[in-house]
Amino acid sequence: MSEHYDLLVVGGGINGAGIARDAAGRGLSVLLVEQRDLASATSSSSTKLIHGGLRYLEHYEFRLVREALQEREVLLAAAPHIIWPLTFVLPHHKGLRPKWMLRAGLFLYDHLAKRKRLPASRALSLNGTAEGKPLLNQFTSGFSYSDCWVDDARLVVLNALDAQARGAVIKTRTRCAALVRGTDGWTATLQSEDGKETSISAKAVVNAAGPWVTEMVNRAGLGDKAAGLRLVKGSHFVVPRIHPHDHCYIFQNSDGRIAFAIPYQQDYTLIGTTDVPYDGDPAEVKINDDEIDYLLDLVNGYLATPLTRADIVWDYAGVRPLYDDKNSNASAVTRDYVFDLDTGDGDAPAILSIYGGKITTYRRLAEHALQKLCPVLGNDASDWTATSVLPGGDMADGNFDRFLSSVRTKFGWLPEQVAHRWARCYGTRLFDIAPNAKAIGDLGAEVAPNLFEAELRFLMTQEWARSAEDVLWRRTKLGLGMEESDINAVRDWFANRADQLAAQ
């Protein structure tokens, strides 16, 4: 007999993980399947910001911006270890938007939603300041405002962990190969990496497949009803740190777009993003030469020391699965989310397909999705995620600095760099990595610099990590700057545990 669930969620990005968490917290039985690793596509390829989207005000997306600004406060409280405030410096470019327009936009940004933790915007003089030092001399003034940084891939993992803790089943490396609608529910054929197929049934389906959302609609036999999907590529690259302070720059361009230069992983600066129409395989998306030139030209219009291709140490690209609002400008296509709820003739088993969305508003998206699905599932549980912390975020008063101090005191033998990274990645869950450790030797072999067997085992058994790439580029970001020999050592560690992984 096949397993039966109230809800099948297809897609292990931020929307799918957020919906699985919300649904499980309402008492629904949930299965989430992801064909690769959690956050392996769009959700680990973002600009890694929790932000209202200042530039969306120019497109009159006031509801989207207001909702995103409200969510900054909610998410800061939910995950203070992986989300924290970030100050943005916006130099005034005399040839572009006038000062009055910037000031008016920032005033609106400050007041569209209540702020509890983040300061208001203010005017800046850049002459002789740390903020002005990396810039060309022509940039003498500007503004600052606040948004937040987020470790995007870890946010997905934390939502999946919380979903699992509340009863959801999470299956990675599992493809939903077919969906068949019956009179009482859906039958799904699931395919594992080794090709083995199993069948499950569910009362309703959430299609959160991101760039593959239309493909899933087709597999459900509803291709003629698919909403318009527009794939837009966003690319980024990373260079050695271009400034010593912790602020982020937001640079305007003459085409109306902007780019960010964000402090990244202590020693680097993350620069992005582009907005390019995309029609290829989402799994094969890569930055191209034109995008590199575009970003270099944009930031070099501001920097006193120009960047070159030789400075780039890493790059990545992702595909945003946006709702096609027929806008001819890829940058102006709405980032708001759109639901397509199909119930056939009115009482057939439901499938909810999701288009668009921002990582900032994923929790509200999930909440709205359950508000649509609960009535057809006969569930009357209340909304609950707005006041619930994510795993590891339950530190006293949400005070990360105080928590980090306590970690350093308790684990005085742990290298400071490791203690800080563990606190950021895992929050209070770090105590579960090696609960009986009293010395560095208790963590097992140092497989790669500052990466010990205890952490690898924890990621493999507790966070669905099955390869070096899962660990180095999504769970920890340690791959940046790591020697190839060290990356291979992590690959070998996983290869030597193939039997254990197959049994999971």
Q: How far apart are CA 100 and CA 51, in angstroms?
A: 22
| pTM (predicted TM-score) | 0.96
Contacts of residue 476, Cβ cutoff 8 Å, sequence gap at least 6: 421, 425, 451, 459
Task: Give the number of other Cβ atoms within 10 Å of residue 21's Cβ.
Answer: 30
- Residues 266, 408 within the same domain: no
- Residues 143, 243 within the same domain: yes
135 DSSP assignment:
B
- Residues 276, 373 within the same domain: no
- Residue 148 one-letter amino acid: C
CATH number, domain containing residue 381: 3.50.50.60
- Residues 306, 200 within the same domain: no
Give domain status of residue 67, yes or no.
no
- Residue 409 one-letter amino acid: T
Give domain status of residue 241, yes or no.
yes
Residue 159 contacts residue 18 (beta carbons within 8 Å)? yes
Helix (H) or strand (E) holding 194: none
Q: What is the pLDDT of residue 333?
A: 56
Q: What is the pLDDT of residue 352?
A: 97
Q: What is the pLDDT of residue 326?
A: 59
Give domain status of residue 351, yes or no.
yes
- Identify the domain containing residue 240 by its residue range: 83-149+231-322
Give domain status of residue 63, yes or no.
no
In the listed set 299, 322, 345, which residue is the last one of a domain according to the structure? 322
Give domain status of residue 249, yes or no.
yes
- Residues 416, 497 within the same domain: yes
- Residues 248, 101 within the same domain: yes
- Residues 240, 140 within the same domain: yes
Q: What is the pLDDT of residue 100?
A: 95
Give domain status of residue 312, yes or no.
yes
Give domain status of residue 75, yes or no.
no
Q: What is the pLDDT of residue 223?
A: 81
CATH number, domain containing residue 410: 1.10.8.870
- Residues 238, 224 within the same domain: no
| Residues lower than pLDDT 50 in the chain | none
Q: Structural domain tally of the chain?
A: 3
- Residues 369, 497 within the same domain: no
- Residues 193, 262 within the same domain: no
In the listed set 322, 344, 363, which residue is the last one of a domain according to the structure? 322
- Residues 197, 92 within the same domain: no
Q: What is the pLDDT of residue 332?
A: 52
Q: How far apart are CA 152 and CA 13, in angstroms?
A: 10
- Residues 118, 199 within the same domain: no
Give domain status of residue 29, yes or no.
yes
